[in-house]
Chain A
């Protein structure tokens, strides 16, 4: 497995491209249909290594579907997606390689309820990366320290608050040492008083230079960490720009209307 991991990184880490500004995600004219419903209508996006992209948009605009195509949780029917040098096709092998390089945090946490917090975090390193258990547990404890809940390691997810669960979910994704982190509305299912603790962890993560794509309605977070903000509507990117320009001087009427609704 380690060999494959190395192989997976070679295309991007090789002499062809090593700089900070190299693209790590390239999407070209991505289309997706749910039955006859055309969800993604030609999304073209390039994300540079280390870039933080915040995606906003009304519900049903396809923003969640889009980031779910990036680790092949949703298949797409037309276009091309290359993640860290690996093209996402229906090839299962490629899909598994990409998934072990891309961490994902879900709106509903999706922790495994039958495993302790520690086992949730060590599961993938042990089974996918073939790490020794002791080593995986040490890493898990470091990550729990980082998200601020080491004392919960031996509890079950159901015994934790929503905010704590989401922080465990972030630690679980980080345990695979991903190069990209996808966040699908990570704070939408949380009580207001717990949103802050999760956002703090995400801000800290952003400062480490992680490439992040975040679907969220947290404008404060977007202003603070985003390099670029995108507005999704009806399956296309309507507007994109740095947060300052996006929020203060939107170019499109659609963006102004959307911002008027959420601000």
Chain B
């Protein structure tokens, strides 16, 4: 079950891609850049008459579509539906006098990303440079939560029903990803356990959740958590939605990780055992590092899916990016401005998904080191 729905390439680009034949063997060095370009065109786009035809038709289609979209975006479209509501779309009903906190949270996140990139790129690996990112990764999420939510003492509490728009989307996705990962790994290990009870419980959890749509999980956590938990401990709606996303995502993480666990050869486990490592040491030092490395691509794909799936929380009444977009569209002032609004929302989703995709590639490349 692969759930990789990466950022899709525009359909119009397909015909041109279909006839690409990168054929390095026929490449001949030639004096002059123009000659080189001509040869490249000939080889890749006009090698036969039907390839030439496809190229011309494909190019015409792409240009036609692009010019229509461009003309619409620049002339017919009325972007005020987005620009007038930009703050609303980004943070929803978050108190306007507290917006600086969100800004600061964004800065913290950007600093974390910068630090990670610097640590990953830099050849020098002093103790500080190796330890700093790990520490930052532990502290930054807490700092962001504290900034956005507040504690009632230093920062006023902003209750989660004031969270909305892109802010809510990102908080849901981040919590969903970060929390579901350890649970998913635990479930995957549980499913491989030699203890029948642990194995049965893990398998049941995974299969039940995987057998129902996310909407069902979201509804169940909205309704059932309030039924089962004691009166005083009634989590708010956002927390319940987060729980639903975590439960759903953990089951899929577990199945991905299980695939990785199975890809670790038996010989690795035997070698660890022969050295006297115990079961826990074998799992955490030998098996899991190799298993997780193997599943980074599918995990990234899955987390991208989860990010997009956060849009489903509108169904349980939360106003994340798409929810806010829909309520703006319901305003008579912006009647019929669907195209502009959804183009904007789509662009925002795409930016984040593409970013995650790129980050995933970087992680893969970094981890690929040991496999060479």
Picked from B270, B281, B369, the residue with its CB within 8 Å of the CB of A73 is: B270
Interface assignment of A247: CB less than 8 Å from any CB of chain B = no
With a cutoff of 8 Å between Cβ atoms, the chain A residues found around residue B268 in the complex are 110, 112
Instruction: Tell me the bound Cα distance from A110 to B281 in angstroms.
Output: 17
Give every chain A residue within 8 A of B286 (Cβ-Cβ).
112
Known: A113-B290, A127-B285. A173 touches B275 (CB 8 A): yes
Partner of B274, one of A73, A114, A127, A158: A73
Q: A156-B372, A158-B371 are in contact. Are A110 and B276 (CB under 8 A)?
A: no
Assess the A110–B270 pair: CB atoms within 8 A. yes
Q: Determine how close the nearest CB of chain A comes to the CB of B358; give it in whole angstroms.
A: 23
Q: Which of B270, B277, B370, B371 contacts A127 (CB 8 A)?
A: B277
Q: How many angstroms from the CA of A75 to the CA of B253 in the assembled complex?
A: 34
**Is B365 on the interface with A (CB-CB < 8 A)?**
no
Given A106-B270, A110-B267, A123-B285, A99 contacting B275 (CB threshold 8 A): yes
Q: Mark B268-302, 1 if CB is under 8 A from A, else 0.
A: 10111111111001000110011001000000000
- Separation in Å of the A180 CB from the closest CB of chain B? 12
Instruction: Enumerate B293-330 residues with CB–CB distance to A below 8 Å.
Output: 293
Q: Which residue of B lies closest to A127 (CB)?
A: B281
Q: How far is the CA of A124 from the CA of B289 in the complex (A)?
A: 16
| B340 vs chain A, min Cβ distance (A) | 49
Collect the chain A residues with CB atoms within 8 Å of residue B293's CB. 114
Query: Is A159's CB under 8 angstroms from B277's CB?
Result: no
Nearest-CB distance from B55 to chain A (Å)? 42
Residues on the B chain within 8 Å of A127, using CB: 277, 281, 285
User: How far in angstroms is the closest Cβ of chain A from B34?
Assistant: 43
What is the CA–CA distance of A16 and B220 in the complex, to the nearest angstrom?
Answer: 69
A98-133: CB near B (< 8 Å → 1, else 0) gives: 011011101010111111000000011001100000
Report the minimum CB–CB distance from B285 to chain A (whole Å): 7
- A window 28-64: CB within 8 A of B: none
Would you call B285 and A73 a contact (CB within 8 A)?
Answer: no
| Contacting pair B370 A124 (CB below 8 A) | no
Known: A106-B270, A110-B271, A127-B281. Contact between A115 and B276, CB under 8 A? Answer: no
Greatest chain A CB density within 10 A among B265, B270, B272 is at B270
Residues of B within 8 A of A214 (CB): none
B207 vs chain A, min Cβ distance (A): 29
CA distance A124 to B278 in the complex (A): 10
Bound CA–CA A102/B278 (angstroms): 15
Of B271, B272, B274, B278, chain A has the most CB atoms within 10 Å of the CB of B274
Residue of A nearest to B267 (CB): A110
Closest to B369 in A: A156
Once the chains bind, are A124 and B277 in contact (CB under 8 Å)? Answer: yes
- Of all A-B residue pairs in the complex, the 9 with the closest CB atoms, nearest first, are A100-B276, A110-B271, A124-B275, A104-B274, A110-B267, A99-B276, A114-B370, A128-B276, A156-B370
Residues of A bordering B, CB below 8 Å:
71, 73, 96, 99-100, 102-104, 106, 108, 110-115, 123-124, 127-128, 156, 158-159, 172-173, 176
Given contact pairs A99-B275, A124-B275, A176-B275, a sample of 19 additional A-B residue pairs in the complex whose CB atoms are under 8 Å apart: A73-B273, A96-B276, A99-B274, A104-B271, A104-B274, A106-B271, A112-B268, A112-B290, A113-B371, A115-B370, A123-B277, A123-B285, A124-B277, A156-B371, A158-B370, A158-B372, A159-B372, A173-B275, A176-B276
What residues make up the interface of B, taking CB atoms closer than 8 Å to A?
265, 267-268, 270-278, 281, 285-286, 289-290, 293, 369-372
